[in-house]
Amino acid sequence: MKPSQIHSAINILREEYKSWKTPAVTIVAQCERSPYKVLVSCIISLRTKDDVTAMASARLFARAGTPAEMTQLSAEDIAGLIYPAGFYRNKSEQILEISSRLVAEYGGSVPGEIDELLKFKGVGRKTANLVVTLGFGKPGICVDTHVHRICNRWGYVETKTPEMTEMALRIKLPEEYWIEINDLLVAFGQNHCHPVSPRCSSCRLNDHCSRIGVSTSR
């Protein structure tokens, strides 16, 4: 993909996005701009299907929607509410630990800076960027496996890790697209541009894509 093609690619993705299922964490952010709920739902979402994430988040937030309320629950309580999310027991302990630190060290508020968020156990750059962008509406680029894979498949970047992709996109991607690139490419990756055998024959981005690493497609 040539740098100049990113504008038309984003416009196509915006049109297609309307027919795709919205990622679960984005739904949480759309319902209520709560950095805390975005943070917790993102933790739940790791290695978990979107439908499970959405239901688990809803059950948990019905009981506790703030760090202070969460600290009133036990790790066992949280685990029961987010089950069957992947690694639900580990995530319940992580959610409780983060909530306790937020209450004790941050006055019950989630910090809005990536470097501060990275100080919390289990919070990586993907989660931190998601909280900053969806929770606070600040500029940031959340790069997960979909964004990393697709940007390299397009030939828009040439990187080996999601963190390298984030840094490359911060240089190359116009800032007007920073916040929405994750939503668009997660939905695109889940619904069309699959890791194995992507739907290239019906893809409106065929003329933009270098199809790097694609050996079989539909």
Active site residues: 126, 144
The whole-angstrom separation of Cα 52 and Cα 84 is 7
> From its phi and psi, is residue 29 left (phi > 0), alpha (psi between -120 and 50) or beta?
alpha
Alpha helices in the chain, H assignment, sequence order: 6-17, 24-31, 35-45, 50-63, 67-70, 75-82, 88-105, 114-117, 125-130, 136, 145-154, 162-172, 178-191
The whole-angstrom separation of Cα 139 and Cα 211 is 29
Structure tokens at 127: 């989660």
Which of the 8 DSSP states describes residue 107? T
Torsion 13-14-16-21 (CA) sign: positive
Torsion 65-70-72-75 (CA) sign: positive
| Residue type at position 135 | G
